[in-house]
Amino acid sequence: MRTKHVNALIALAAVMLLSFSCFCISRMTRISNQLINCRNHILEFKEKMLHLKNKTERNHQELTKALSKMKYEMTQRKNMSINLVEKKMNTLGKNETTSNTFEILKFFFPHLRKVDRIYPDVIIGKEKTGVSFALGISTVNRGNQSYLKQTLNSLVSRMTPSEEKDSVVIVSVSDRNEDYLKSVVGMITKRFKRQLRSGSLEIISIPAFFYPNISHVKESTDDSGKSESKCIKQVLDFCFLMLYAQPKAMYYLQLEDDIIAKKMYFTKITDFVHNITSKNWFYIEFSILGFIGKLFKSQDLPDFVRFFLMFYKDKPIDLLLRDIFQVKMCNPGENPEKCAERNKQIRIRYKPSLFQHVGIQSSFPGIEQYSKDIYY
């Protein structure tokens, strides 16, 4: 009996030991599988991390390239005044041919006869030629006030693409202040870079040596308060600009840096010029104010400039423009009414005016002006 109990206990212990062994083996197998799965996950994660690292490096390289390209383009835009066309008188090529229209200045100014070549100090643009219309704008520093951006935006935004292609707007910086020149160049290259690149907009700077010595001129003023020396300089500024524009286009339109244009102004000018029956007109007024909106045939510009330079010390340019008719068209002792009637046939006025004066701060320091074109 005792032996049976012992055998039973041994059998039970054996069964329990076998069961425990099976349990342990099963447990170890699951743990081993889990470890294998974990290792596989780790390897997979490591592979993904390596792939991500490579992708990150590629993205970093691409980003670096993109940033370098952006930096290069920003530098290019910043230096557009050089990259477009920037010409200095002493760096022009020996074989480069230029207009000799400025040579007439040597007849009036002896100090220019020693100069080999008279031309703008700086030209920014494409030096476009062969167009129908050149629009000239002379600009000077007005202190804290500037209307130039508003003027240019009004002019270029109201042209059709074909009109823009057949014209060139010339901004002549007529101020010896280099900071003002830089500010004009900076504003235009930023706001009107498309027009600069296409050649429909140019910036020039008048060389300081061009101006004669006018220090002896008394600083007396006329009834409007305008300084005599400033009026003299203004006449010279316009003359230089007219000579520069003369070989570029068939017609030259004189504007100022503080005006706005009507919608479709360019289309109306073109249509009016093409439909004029008389071909003997001297100039057309598209504004009654001063020297604004006066359209000339480019072939006549040298004659106008010669007259202006003969009397540039005597009167402002808008008054000289009136006098030229008296000199050229009126005979001594002639009935003034006949002369006036003949002037109407060659001095044509377009109504309503296409340009309005908006500036208050005059180009003459310390003067405010509120003149408006009543026909606008």
Lowest-confidence range among 131-135, 166-170, 316-320, 340-344? 340-344
Same domain, 193 and 53: no
Same domain, 46 and 159: no
CA 276 to the chain's CA centroid: 33
Confirm whether 179 is domain-assigned: yes
Same domain, 131 and 44: no
What pLDDT digit, counting tens, does each position of 106-161 carry? 999 999 999 888 989 888 999 899 999 999 999 999 877 889 999 999 999 999 99
Confirm whether 317 is domain-assigned: yes
Residue 81 pLDDT greater than 50, yes or no? no
CA distance 68 to 352: 53
CATH number, residue 215: 3.90.550.10
Same domain, 80 and 134: no
pLDDT band at 225 (very low <50, low <70, confident <90, very high): very low
Same domain, 249 and 290: yes
- The predicted model gives 91-103 an average pLDDT of 57
300 SS3 class: helix
Q: Is the dihedral of CA 231, 236, 241, 246 positive or negative?
A: positive
* Domain, as residue range, for 51: 1-89
Q: Which residues of 254-268 are buried (b: 16+ CB within 10 A; e: fewer)?
A: bbbbbbbbbeebbeb
The residues, ordered by sequence, that sit 6+ positions from 199 with a Cβ below 8 Å of its Cβ are 125, 126, 127, 128, 168
Mean pLDDT (the chain) is 82
Confirm whether 99 is domain-assigned: no
User: By C-alpha distance, which of 108, 137, 247 is closest to 201?
Assistant: 137
User: By C-alpha distance, which of 202, 183, 109, 193 is closest to 140?
Assistant: 183
Same domain, 60 and 179: no
Same domain, 53 and 154: no
